[in-house]
């Protein structure tokens, strides 16, 4: 680091400390190491300073300081979705701003940017209400929602971004604004899928839904039924009601206390399911899949509180959307997973469509709506991806995309062009570029 840069970081810290309520950490000071690291073990960022915001005014001061001192800027709640290290810049932590307020009559939640899904689930459940959360309670509500938000209720109620009613935002030029269907409507559109490229969201208000209990979980079946399950799945999925969300996983049975010891680690076919209704109806709907899968090795479906229904995901080295699962795709996936010695990759085929493909008027830029299936392979061989690619649309989902060189693939061409226009209006100097970058239109 140059002498000028060190002087800049020290003067930014000197200016910020008297005006922010939260702590400011410089390298070598207590708290710096604790707060600078994201969850990604491969990243070792060395920001010039870390600001722990506790109020929207702190956020505003941090954004202004980054601009004035020309410091690269990034914001982090949990570090779950941080893929690019902030070296030499200002890292804004929102973790401490984790207030959640529920209005059970209006069925809405208002959260500060440090809230995680576990906070909202716990606050909403006593009223029989649920947010459109995802597969992990530890993920940040704001990062997840701005990136689209694909959860197990999405086929019924849409992406989490589609349920946002308003956001309070500190814009890259340091203003505090409201974005909703009346004010800053272009910003409101861009935030609901465009991620953290347009400012720091300091509060988010979104709808909750009357879901208290669900029926589902994951059941495991013999691996040699994989082809039969997938062939049935591709034909069956189109008739599944929006209340039923499913995915098929070709993987190892996890080493979990709920699994009988001798079965742990076996290669098997898992069928994940969540139904927002009663067990009997769900079982009736799932019957064709069960028939194709044979007797279960582990029967994991049960009625449970929605808040307990997080089902884990598969990290996506290969991800694409597939309008249909033709024979070549099915055969490639089954063959890829079935490597000698049980060392094949984990493959997950998920059914989307439903309400995700029926956005309301003015809905935000979330991915490629309406496509039937996604396919994830965690450790794909080149030969596998080469065989899959011609059948996919070449798209991705922002929240499942770690490769920041492929951000544009998470959008349709029209949405990408509009996002770049909005970016030019709100952040012409591209202050918010670390991570998934949406460059301002030329
Ligand atoms: C275990 C696990 C399970 C997951 N399951 C799902 C799932 O089921 N469905 C799904 O859609 N996604 C899922 N994800 C992906 C997750 O939604 C993204 O990684 C998301 O970005 C995480 O947000 P965060 O705030 O927790 O992470 P952070 O790393 O803290 O933030 C990630 C990014 O979000 C943006 N951001 C965060 N806070 C703000 C803010 N206040 N203002 C503006 N921008 C902000 C910034 O661009 C930041 O770089 C999962 C991730 C993990 C690790």
Strand partners, 213: 305
User: Exposure string (b/e) for 345-382, b if CB count within 10 Å is 16 or more?
Assistant: bbbbbbbbbbbbeebeeebbbbbbbebbbbbbbeebee
Q: How far is the CA of 78 from the centre of ligand 1 (A)?
A: 8
Q: How far is the CA of 80 from the centre of ligand 1 (A)?
A: 6
Nearest ligand 1 atom, CA 197: 47
Span(s) in the chain for CATH 3.30.43.10? 3-93
CB atoms within 10 A of CB 118: 17
Tokens of 242: 């929006």
Whether 310 and 130 have beta carbons less than 8 Å apart is answered as: no
Return the beta strands (E) in 137-278 as ranges.
Answer: 164-170, 176-180, 200-207, 213-222, 244-252, 267-275
Indicate if the pLDDT at residue 313 is higher than 60: yes
Q: How far is the CA of 399 from the centre of ligand 1 (A)?
A: 7
Query: Residues 217-241: pLDDT tens digits?
Result: 999 999 999 999 999 999 999 999 9
Q: What architecture is domain 3-93?
A: 2-Layer Sandwich (3.30)
Q: Which helix (H) or strand (E) holds 93?
A: strand 90-93
CB atoms within 10 A of CB 197: 27
Give the pLDDT mean for 76-83: 92
DSSP state, residue 196: T
Span(s) in the chain for CATH 3.40.462.20? 213-404
User: Exposure string (b/e) for 402-437, b if CB count within 10 Å is 16 or more?
Assistant: eeeeebbbbbeeebbebbbebbeebbeeebbbbbbb
DSSP state, residue 127: G
Whether 377 and 384 have beta carbons less than 8 Å apart is answered as: yes
End-to-end alpha carbon distance in the chain: 31
Strands 90-93 and 213-222: unpaired
Tokens of 411: 């959008």
Q: Does residue 409 sit in helix, strand or coil?
A: helix
- Tell me if 319 CB under 6 Å of ligand 1: no
Query: Residues 148-194: pLDDT tens digits?
Result: 999 999 999 999 999 999 999 999 999 999 999 999 999 999 999 99
| DSSP per position, 20-42 | -SS-EE-TTSTTHHHHH--S-TT
Q: How far is the CA of 116 from the centre of ligand 1 (A)?
A: 10
Give the pLDDT mean for 355-377: 95
Q: What architecture is domain 213-404?
A: 3-Layer(aba) Sandwich (3.40)
What is the pLDDT of the chain when averaged over all its residues? 94
Whether 204 and 145 have beta carbons less than 8 Å apart is answered as: yes
Tokens of 187: 């910003």
Q: How far is the CA of 45 from the centre of ligand 1 (A)?
A: 18
Backbone angles phi, psi at 213, to 5 degrees: -120, 150
Span(s) in the chain for CATH 3.30.465.10? 100-210+405-426
- Tell me if 139 CB under 6 Å of ligand 1: yes
Q: Which helix (H) or strand (E) holds 190?
A: helix 185-194
Whether 132 and 108 have beta carbons less than 8 Å apart is answered as: no
Q: How far is the CA of 12 from the centre of ligand 1 (A)?
A: 27
Query: Residues 6-55: pLDDT tens digits?
Result: 666 678 888 899 999 999 999 999 889 999 987 877 888 999 999 999 99
Q: Does residue 101 sit in helix, strand or coil?
A: strand
Residue of the nearest CA to atom 46 in ligand 1? 196
Nearest ligand 1 atom, CA 198: 43
Q: How far is the CA of 137 from the centre of ligand 1 (A)?
A: 12
- Tell me if 149 CB under 6 Å of ligand 1: yes
Nearest ligand 1 atom, CA 150: 11
Strands 90-93 and 73-76: parallel
Q: What architecture is domain 100-210+405-426?
A: 2-Layer Sandwich (3.30)
Residue of the nearest CA to atom 19 in ligand 1? 81
The pLDDT > 70 percentage for the chain reads 98
Q: How far is the CA of 91 from the centre of ligand 1 (A)?
A: 16
Give the pLDDT mean for 82-106: 96
Nearest ligand 1 atom, CA 94: 41
Nearest ligand 1 atom, CA 141: 25
Residue of the nearest CA to atom 5 in ligand 1? 135
Q: What is each CA distance from 87 to 50, 395, 435, in whole angstroms? A: 11, 30, 12
Residue 319 region by backbone torsions, left for phi larger than 0, else alpha for psi between -120 and 50, else beta: beta
This prediction's pTM: 0.96
The reported pLDDT for the residue numbered 42 is: 83
| DSSP per position, 328-371 | HHHHHHHHHH--GGG-PPPEEEEE--GGGGS--TT----SSTT-
Nearest ligand 1 atom, CA 139: 26
Q: Candidates 56, 60, 75: which one to mutate for ligand 1, based on the most atoms within 8 Å of Cβ? A: 75
CB atoms within 10 A of CB 283: 14
Would you place residue 314 in the very low, low, confident or very high pLDDT band (cuts 50, 70, 90)? low
The reported pLDDT for the residue numbered 122 is: 97
């Amino acid at each position: 680091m140059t002498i000028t840069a060190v002087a800049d970081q020290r003067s930014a810290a000197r200016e910020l400390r008297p005006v922010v309520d939260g702590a400011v950490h410089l390298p070598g000071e207590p708290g710096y190491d604790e707060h600078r690291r994201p969850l990604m073990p491969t990243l070792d960022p060395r920001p010039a300073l870390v600001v722990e915001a506790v109020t929207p005014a702190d956020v505003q001061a941090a954004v202004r300081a980054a601009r004035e001192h020309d410091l690269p800027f990034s914001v982090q709640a949990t570090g779950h979705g941080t893929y690019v290290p902030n070296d030499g810049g200002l890292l804004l932590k929102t973790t401490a701003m984790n207030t959640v307020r529920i209005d059970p009559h209006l069925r809405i939640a208002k959260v500060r940017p440090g809230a995680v899904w576990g906070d909202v689930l716990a606050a909403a459940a006593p009223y029989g209400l649920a947010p459109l959360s995802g597969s992990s309670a530890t993920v940040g509500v704001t990062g997840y929602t701005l990136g689209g938000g694909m959860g197990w209720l999405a086929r019924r109620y849409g992406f989490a971004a589609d349920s946002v009613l308003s956001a309070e935002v500190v814009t890259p030029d340091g203003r505090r604004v409201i974005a909703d269907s009346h004010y800053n409507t272009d910003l409101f559109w861009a935030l609901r899928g465009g991620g953290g490229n347009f400012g720091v969201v300091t509060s988010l208000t979104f709808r909750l839904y009357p879901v208290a209990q669900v029926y589902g979980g994951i059941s495991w079946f013999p691996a040699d039924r994989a082809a039969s399950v997938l062939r049935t799945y591709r034909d069956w999925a189109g008739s599944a009601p929006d209340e039923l969300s499913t995915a098929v996983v070709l993987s190892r049975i996890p080493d979990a206390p709920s699994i009988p010891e001798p079965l742990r680690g076996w290669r098997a076919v898992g069928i994940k399911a969540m139904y927002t209704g009663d067990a009997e109806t769900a079982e009736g709907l799932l019957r064709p899949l069960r028939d194709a899968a044979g007797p279960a090795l582990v029967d994991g479906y049960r009625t449970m509180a929605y808040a307990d229904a997080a089902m884990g995901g598969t990290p996506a080295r290969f991800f694409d959307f597939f309008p249909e699962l033709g024979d070549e795709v099915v055969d490639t996936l089954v063959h890829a997973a079935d490597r000698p010695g049980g060392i094949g990759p984990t493959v997950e085929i998920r059914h989307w469509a439903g309400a995700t493909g029926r956005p309301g008027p003015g809905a935000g830029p979330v991915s490629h709506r309406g496509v039937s299936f996604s396919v994830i392979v965690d450790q794909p061989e080149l030969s596998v991806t080469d065989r899959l690619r011609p059948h996919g649309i070449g798209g991705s989902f922002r929240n499942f995309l770690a490769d920041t060189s492929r951000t544009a693939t998470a959008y349709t061409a029209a949405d990408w062009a509009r996002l770049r226009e909005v970016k030019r209006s709100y952040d012409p100097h591209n202050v918010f570029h670390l991570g998934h970058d949406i460059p301002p239109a030329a």
